């Protein structure tokens, strides 16, 4: 039998080129542990705590937020993931069909830069988890040299997993799913015994506006994964169920987001400082008993490791679409080196600026949303992608359009990005429309970005859809979408 990237233990060597049909043997159920692993983050506990401390929600309102947020954000992840099974290529490669060969460099560059930041923060958080475990178990105190050793070890482990490819990422996510389940039972038992439930249930309810703000805040984290969704669905056969792709994406994320956010909300009643802790890893290591702190820190470490591995895996494809002429696993090393360098600066010289740095990165998240609006609107008219045209970056490419740009896509993306920033507020920047209106008040700048860019792209004149030669018709479309004829696609 011929070995493929899906073969057990194989090094994935395929890059941004289209996966041939005979290699597309993945199954939709494999997406479930993928999105479980993408959400095992200690920051969800902090966000859950902030729902109680900052937004003054009660437990039932926190439950609404924790349920709605993954449905909104990972519903979009699943919908964009359908493009992966249609085109058999990573998200930023498929994006060439929408923006043009040169136009795709604009959103691609911003998305790549945004990944630098999040990978740096995850690497630093992971290093702190190791340092805290050493302190709790062995009394080892951190110093500059040990900080760098732990950071290097974390980044190296991340590079090893993401460099091996999709099989290694999915395998690790599968085991992490079981570990997370065991950890959740452990923490749940501790909370049931240790929590003063009368204080939890006696809290007054917050405002509806605060509930909407909470949903927007937590859902925004999932939005950053949307451009990566096709990266994890491109090995699915064309006949894979679109409904199953959406369902497993929402289910995998929800099974983590829901309990983690609720745990944070319950813990904040007795320990409100959790909501504002600059380093939630070491903070929770101090307030929890050792028998639960160590498993928690190990899960935190594994979670940060897998999130970074998935992010670097996708970033390798983005680097290739930006023109790095190296194999995928070496393209991954570019982000590994960047996160190591930036992480060293944060740990040694700028740890007090962690909050401001995260605020700066939240502005870049709007760039994800602008891409989502345009790409998602394009999916409504495009059901297949020309692999040869995606790979051809010269003027002969069918995706060259006008000077390498699709004017409609680039204009909609740029205007949506600018408009979204006007509705966005953070510690570093407050848009002129972020106050005194519903969208700005509720922190839904990213929603405004998706809507504006998507609607604008839908109404602007676009180049005709390129139909690949001898292409196979996909078995299903977006839920509720009718099958399009070649004539209607070219309209």
pLDDT, tens digit (0-9, with 9 covering 90-100), for 193-216:
888 888 888 889 999 988 988 898
The first and second tokens of residue 342, run together, are 């930036």
Q: pLDDT tens digits, residue range 334-350?
A: 888 888 888 888 777 65
Q: Characterize 39-53 residue by residue with b for buried, 16 or more Cβ atoms within 10 angstroms of its Cβ, and e for exposed.
A: bbbbbbbbbbbbbbb
Whole-angstrom Cα distance, residue 414 to residue 453?
Answer: 8
Residue 42: its pLDDT value, please? 76
Is the confidence at residue 97, as pLDDT, over 90? yes
Residue from 319, 288, 228, 280 nearest 124 by CA:
280
**Amino acid 77: pLDDT:** 97
User: pLDDT tens-digit profile of 118-133?
Assistant: 788 788 878 888 888 8
pLDDT for 359: 64
| pLDDT confidence tier of residue 402, bands split at 50, 70 and 90 | very high
Instruction: Quote the pLDDT of residue 271.
Output: 83
Determine the Cα–Cα distance for residues 147 and 5; give it in Å rounded to an integer. 35
**Residue 8 pLDDT grade (very low, low, confident, very high; cuts 50, 70, 90):** very low
pLDDT per residue as tens digits for the range 471-485: 444 444 444 443 333
Is a pLDDT exceeding 60 seen at residue 486? no
Lowest mean pLDDT among 4-13, 60-69, 71-80, 248-257: 4-13
In this prediction, residue 357 carries a pLDDT of: 57
**351 vs 312, residue with greater confidence:** 312
| Span 294-322, pLDDT tens digits | 877 787 788 888 888 898 889 888 888 98
Q: Do the Cβ atoms of 81 and 252 come closer than 8 Å?
A: no
Q: What is the mean pLDDT of residues 41-47?
A: 81
Average pLDDT over residues 411-439: 82
Rounded to an integer, the average pLDDT of 25-46 is: 89
pLDDT of residue 183: 74
Three-class secondary structure assignment of 375-428: HHHHHCCCCCCCHHHHHCCCCCCCCCCECCECHHHHHHHHHHHHHHHHCCECCC
Residue 95, pLDDT score? 97
Average pLDDT over residues 371-380: 96
232: confidence class by pLDDT, cuts 50, 70, 90: very high
Output the pLDDT for position 125: 79
Report the share of the chain in percent with pLDDT over 90.
38
Rounded to whole angstroms, the Cα distance separating 156 from 153 reads 5
Q: What is the pTM of this model?
A: 0.87
- Predicted confidence (pLDDT) at residue 178 exceeds the cutoff of 70: yes
pLDDT averaged over the chain?
Answer: 83
Mean pLDDT in residue range 400-408: 96
Q: How far is residue 413's CA from residue 106's CA, in Å, rounded to a whole number?
A: 9
Q: Strand, helix or coil at 234?
A: coil
The confidence score (pLDDT) of residue 474 equals 43
- Specify whether the CB–CB gap between 102 and 403 falls below 8 A: yes
Q: What's the confidence (pLDDT) of residue 411?
A: 97
Q: Can you give the pLDDT at residue 440?
A: 67
Instruction: Give the per-residue pLDDT at 6.
Output: 45
Q: How far is CA 11 from CA 7, 29, 299, 413, in A?
A: 9, 22, 26, 36
């Amino acid at each position: 039998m011929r070995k493929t990237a899906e073969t057990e233990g194989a090094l994935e060597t395929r890059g941004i080129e289209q996966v041939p049909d005979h290699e597309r043997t993945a199954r939709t159920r494999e997406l479930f542990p993928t999105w479980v692993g993408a959400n095992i983050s200690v920051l969800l506990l902090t966000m859950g705590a902030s729902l109680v401390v900052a937004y003054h929600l009660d437990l039932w309102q926190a439950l609404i937020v924790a349920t709605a947020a993954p449905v909104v954000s990972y519903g979009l992840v699943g919908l964009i993931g359908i493009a992966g099974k249609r085109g058999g290529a990573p998200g930023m490669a498929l994006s060439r069909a929408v923006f043009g060969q040169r136009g795709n460099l604009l959103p691609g560059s911003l998305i790549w830069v945004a990944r630098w930041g999040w990978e740096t923060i995850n690497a630093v958080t992971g290093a702190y988890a190791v340092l805290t475990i050493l302190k709790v178990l062995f009394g080892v105190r951190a110093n500059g040299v040990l900080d760098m050793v732990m950071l290097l070890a974390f980044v190296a482990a991340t590079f090893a997993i993401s460099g091996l490819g999709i099989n290694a990422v999915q395998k690790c996510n599968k085991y992490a799913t079981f570990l997370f389940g065991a950890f959740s039972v452990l923490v749940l038992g501790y909370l049931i015994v240790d929590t003063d439930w009368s204080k939890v249930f006696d809290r007054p309810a917050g405002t509806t506006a605060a509930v909407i703000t909470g949903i927007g805040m937590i859902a925004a984290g999932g939005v950053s994964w949307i451009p990566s969704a096709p990266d994890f669905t491109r090995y699915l056969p064309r006949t894979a169920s679109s409904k199953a792709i959406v369902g497993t994406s929402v289910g995998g994320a929800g099974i983590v987001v829901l309990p983690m956010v609720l745990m944070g909300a319950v813990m904040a009643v007795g320990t409100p400082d959790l909501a504002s802790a600059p380093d939630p890893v070491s903070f929770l290591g101090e307030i929890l008993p050792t028998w639960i702190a160590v498993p928690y820190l190990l899960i935190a470490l594994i979670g940060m490791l897998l999130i970074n591995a998935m992010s670097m895996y996708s970033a390798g494809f983005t680097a290739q679409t930006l023109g790095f002429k190296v194999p995928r696993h070496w393209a991954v090393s570019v982000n590994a080196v960047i996160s190591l360098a930036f992480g060293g600066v944060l740990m040694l010289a700028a740890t007090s600026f962690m909050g401001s740095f995260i605020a700066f990165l939240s502005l870049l998240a709007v760039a994800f949303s602008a891409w989502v609006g345009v790409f998602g609107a394009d999916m409504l008219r495009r059901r297949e992608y020309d692999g040869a045209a995606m790979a051809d970056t010269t003027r002969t490419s069918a995706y060259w359009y006008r000077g390498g740009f699709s004017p409609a896509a680039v204009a909609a993306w740029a205007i949506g990005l600018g408009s979204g920033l006007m509705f966005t507020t953070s510690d570093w920047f407050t848009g002129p429309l972020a106050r005194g209106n519903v969208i700005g008040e509720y922190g839904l700048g990213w929603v405004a970005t998706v809507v504006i860019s998507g609607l604008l792209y839908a109404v602007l004149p676009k180049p005709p859809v390129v139909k690949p030669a001898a292409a196979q018709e996909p078995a299903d479309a977006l839920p509720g979408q009718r099958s399009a004829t070649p004539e209607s696609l070219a309209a």
